[in-house]
């Protein structure tokens, strides 16, 4: 492959396909329609082309954070249900109708605003209700949804209630809290079913993100909302949950050696001189920096792969460049392939490992690479 860019992202479409299949197989009732592919933030930095692939393979439900993201999906030809997981501000309401998005409601005020919008446009809109069971973010508190409000939202000529959802705060590391949240959700569902206002069995009930999907198979309910797992990455710094399900990373970041030099011992490397060579060092400069999404926090910590071997980052990451130590890799030449994320030979740099270096979660690693606009589907 002769790519003319100094830095590019490869989208491994085979892995994306396999991940979609594996996730279906792991559901209690395997069915593509029971998966909401969460593709906010440009599909976790992978770009919208991957959403089109998923649609081609049968995915028909997608989740986004904003109306603008939903509109971008409609513009590229996404036909299925698009859930507006992140709520909305009033200025976004026309866009919800225009793009036939499915909002998730968090308050009486949101309901009132949608209600007054349909008085004018008389357009049918499906929506879900979001219940805050302990996330402390969007969603109705269970007690806010009283009998009269439920009667209203359950029977409306234009606004059609199709589902009820909640979101876990700590499904990746706190099973007790997750069980508690699930119980609050179940109690809420029971409460509304006893009110006999709406046929609860017809509603789509869902609560699992990737961690919920991986660690709480009993909580899959009618649908799961998977983001990071779809892209083959664990929601935690340990890659084994994704690996053991047969998921593999979709995103790869590659570059080339731009410059090489030999430095004696005792040289300062980069801004602030945070690294001083301890020996004669062969240094390689790579054209990626924090402007391309390489978190500065990774400075002096991360490693890249060159010829299948690891080269350590030396000094702080600059805006568009970084330096690595290639002293122990024989025969590195200008133009040699550099793998920042992904496999090379027998070794592999994973987003989970990068997240550990940067003391963050793999989600942030993937999203930050959204700044790399040279994307190649392989
Ligand atoms: C982002 C998001 C998800 C997906 O989270 P992952 O950890 O990437 O699977 C699911 N549900 C909601 C409401 C979200 O905002």
Task: Please identify which residue in the block is written with the tokens 């976004």.
Answer: 92
Reported confidence tier of residue 197, pLDDT bands at 50, 70, 90: confident
Q: Which of 98, 130, 191, 271 is catalytic?
A: 271
Q: pLDDT per residue over 169-191, tens digit each?
A: 999 999 999 999 999 999 999 99
CA dist 340 and 362 (Å) reads: 14
Q: pLDDT per residue over 70-100, tens digit each?
A: 999 999 999 999 999 999 999 999 999 999 9
What angle separates helix 49-56 from helix 67-76, to the nearest 10 degrees?
60
Q: Which segment of 83-92, 193-202, 210-219 scores lowest on mean pLDDT?
A: 193-202
CA dist 245 and 352 (Å) reads: 16
Spacing, Cα 226 to ligand 1 middle (Å): 6
The DSSP bridge partners found for residue 348 are 343
Question: Does ligand 1 have an atom closer than 6 angstroms to the CB of 39?
Answer: no
CA dist 27 and 43 (Å) reads: 22
Active site residue 40: yes
Give me the pLDDT at residue 234, please. 98
CATH class of 31-231: alpha beta
Domain limits of the chain? 31-231, 251-377
Residue 193, H or E segment: helix 175-194
Domains 31-231 and 251-377 share a fold: no
Task: Please identify which residue in the block is written with the tokens 């509304």.
Answer: 192
275: pLDDT strictly greater than 90:
yes
Q: Which of 40, 130, 219, 275 is catalytic?
A: 40
CA dist 39 and 24 (Å) reads: 17
pTM value is: 0.97
Residue 95, H or E segment: helix 93-98
Architecture of domain 251-377: Beta Barrel (2.40)
Question: Does ligand 1 have an atom closer than 6 angstroms to the CB of 235?
Answer: yes
Mean pLDDT for 65-69 is 98
Give me the pLDDT at residue 172, please. 98
Q: Are strands 159-166 and 125-131 parallel, antiparallel or unpaired?
A: parallel
Nearest residue (CA) to ligand 1, atom 10 = 209
Question: What are the CB-based long-range contacts (under 8 Å, 24+) for 306-312?
Answer: 306/257, 306/332, 306/336, 306/337, 306/338, 306/339, 306/344, 307/331, 307/332, 307/336, 307/344, 307/345, 308/344, 308/345, 308/346, 308/347, 309/345, 309/347, 310/347, 311/284
Active site residue 307: no
Spacing, Cα 258 to ligand 1 middle (Å): 38
CA dist 228 and 234 (Å) reads: 7
What phi, psi does 366 have (nearest 5°)? Answer: -60, -50
Give me the pLDDT at residue 1, please. 63
Helix (H, G, I), strand (E, B) or coil at 373: coil
Question: Does ligand 1 have an atom closer than 6 angstroms to the CB of 214?
Answer: no
Percent of the chain with pLDDT over 70: 100
Give me the pLDDT at residue 195, please. 83
What is the best residue among 41, 227, 241 to mutate for testing ligand 1's pocket, by most ligand atoms within 8 Å of CB? 227
The DSSP bridge partners found for residue 269 are 275
Give me the pLDDT at residue 185, please. 98
- Ligand 1 atom with least separation from CA of 229: 9
Question: Does ligand 1 have an atom closer than 6 angstroms to the CB of 362?
Answer: no
Question: Does ligand 1 have an atom closer than 6 angstroms to the CB of 206?
Answer: no
Rg of the chain taking only CA atoms, in angstroms: 24
């Amino acid at each position: 492959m002769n790519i003319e860019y100094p830095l590019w992202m490869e989208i491994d479409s085979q892995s994306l396909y396999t991940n979609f299949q594996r996730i279906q197989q792991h559901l209690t009732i395997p069915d593509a329609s029971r998966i909401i592919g969460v593709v906010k933030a440009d599909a976790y930095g992978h770009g919208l082309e991957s959403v089109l692939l998923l649609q081609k393979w049968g995915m028909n439900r997608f989740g986004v954070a904003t109306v603008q993201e939903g509109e971008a999906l409609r513009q590229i030809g996404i036909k299925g249900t698009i859930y507006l997981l992140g709520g909305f501000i009033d200025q976004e309401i026309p866009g919800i109708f225009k793009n036939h998005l499915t909002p998730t409601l968090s308050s009486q005020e949101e309901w009132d605003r949608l209600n007054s919008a349909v008085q004018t446009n008389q357009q049918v809109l499906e929506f879900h209700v979001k219940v805050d069971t302990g996330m402390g973010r969007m969603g109705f508190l269970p007690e806010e949804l009283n009998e009269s409000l439920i009667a209203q939202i359950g029977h409306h000529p234009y606004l059609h209630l199709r589902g009820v959802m909640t979101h876990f705060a700590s499904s990746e590391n706190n099973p007790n809290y997750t069980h508690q949240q699930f119980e609050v959700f179940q109690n809420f569902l029971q409460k509304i079913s006893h009110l006999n206002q709406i046929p609860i069995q017809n509603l789509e009930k869902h609560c699992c993100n990737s961690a919920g999907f991986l660690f709480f198979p009993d909580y899959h309910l009618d649908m799961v909302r998977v983001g990071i797992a779809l892209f083959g990455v664990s929601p935690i710094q340990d890659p084994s949950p994704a690996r053991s399900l047969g998921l593999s990373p979709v995103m790869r970041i590659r570059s080339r050696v731009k410059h090489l030099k030999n430095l004696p011992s005792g040289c300062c490397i980069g801004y602030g001189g945070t690294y001083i060579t301890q020996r004669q060092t062969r240094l390689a400069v790579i054209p990626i920096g924090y402007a391309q999404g390489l978190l500065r926090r990774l400075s002096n910590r991360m490693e890249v792969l060159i010829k299948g071997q690891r080269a350590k980052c030396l000094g702080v990451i600059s805006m568009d460049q970084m330096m690595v130590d290639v002293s122990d890799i024989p025969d590195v030449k200008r133009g040699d392939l550099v793998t920042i994320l992904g496999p090379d030979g027998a070794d592999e740099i994973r987003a989970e490992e990068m997240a550990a270096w940067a003391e963050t979660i793999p989600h942030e690693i993937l999203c930050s690479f959204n700044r790399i606009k040279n994307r190649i589907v392989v």
